[in-house]
Amino acid sequence: MIPTYVRHSPSKLNLFCAQPSMFVLEYVLGVKQPVGVHAHRGVAVEDGVTYGLKYPSAHMDDCRHVAQVKYDTLTALSGDPRREKFRETVPDMVATAVKQLRQYGVPTGTQEAVEWHPPELKLPIFGYLDYRWDQHGIVADLKTTERMPSEIKIPHARQVALYTVSEATHAHLIYVTPKKLESYLLENIDAHRGALASVARRVENFLALSDDAEYFLGITAPDLESFYWGNPEARELAFRHWKL
């Protein structure tokens, strides 16, 4: 197994499923890709929402300000042409989420580390849950999105299933757009958690094939039409490492 790969996470495992060559680039070759403005917006909105939930009397403008400052800080050096477009959606996403989630009260925990080590795996699976409300037996993850999904996305289901290793009885995926919020209850938790472990086992089998990073370049090939390779710098790395 590649020595630098020391633990699994839902994001790593989902990346392995979606685009194995990008997994190789980031976690075998160790070439991490710049975080996009979409992810930065998610972090910023979460910060604003968390502030609004922790301080129920806080004015909505203060919650928006927390998120806006976070977004501007994270994207200060970004050359992504979508930077301003995404920035404009931050205040409404924060307000939409805070208004609806305050009904649950102050969260018992936020951004809590969760680790699960199934006996069949060499490495643990590690992640951070967004919100925990013990008074309702709820754990939840907040996702920002342009279009509201009609159901929980499979990668998100695997992610939230990890967080139910705790004693919480209900797991929710909370999707928010600038105008709407939907909270979906995760069903078949054991099946999704089992799928997460199954992917992790496949990753371990994959990484155990060789200690030579070049070997993995020889058995994978990037799909350059995928959005994972949309960044010009990422495409250049694909051409350089895979000689395409």
The predicted pLDDT at position 202 comes to 98
Task: Give 132-179 pLDDT, tens digit per residue.
Answer: 999 999 999 999 999 999 999 999 999 999 998 665 579 999 999 999
Q: Establish if 60 belongs to a structural domain.
A: yes
Task: Give 17-45 pLDDT, tens digit per residue.
Answer: 999 999 999 999 999 888 888 999 999 99
Q: Establish if 160 belongs to a structural domain.
A: no
The predicted pLDDT at position 186 comes to 95
Distances (CA, A) of 195 to 130, 159, 175, 202: 21, 10, 22, 11
Strands (E), 49-192: 109-116, 125-133, 138-144, 170-176, 181-185
Distances (CA, A) of 162 to 104, 130, 158, 182, 206: 22, 12, 7, 21, 22
Q: Establish if 43 belongs to a structural domain.
A: yes
The predicted pLDDT at position 232 comes to 81
Q: Establish if 170 belongs to a structural domain.
A: no
Structural domain span for residue 67: 33-105
The predicted pLDDT at position 164 comes to 86
Region 198-208: mean pLDDT is 97
Q: Establish if 158 belongs to a structural domain.
A: no
Mean pLDDT (the chain) is 94
Q: For the sheet containing 181-185, what is the strand order? A: 109-116, 125-133, 138-144, 170-176, 181-185
Local structure of 199: helix, strand or coil: helix
Per-residue tokens: 43: 């972090």
CA atoms within 13 A on the CB side of 70: 22
Q: Establish if 4 belongs to a structural domain.
A: no
DSSP conformational letter for 8: B
Q: How many domains does the chain contain in total?
A: 1
Asked if residue 110 has pLDDT above 90, the reply is yes
Q: Establish if 230 belongs to a structural domain.
A: no
Strands (E), the chain: 109-116, 125-133, 138-144, 170-176, 181-185
Q: Establish if 97 belongs to a structural domain.
A: yes
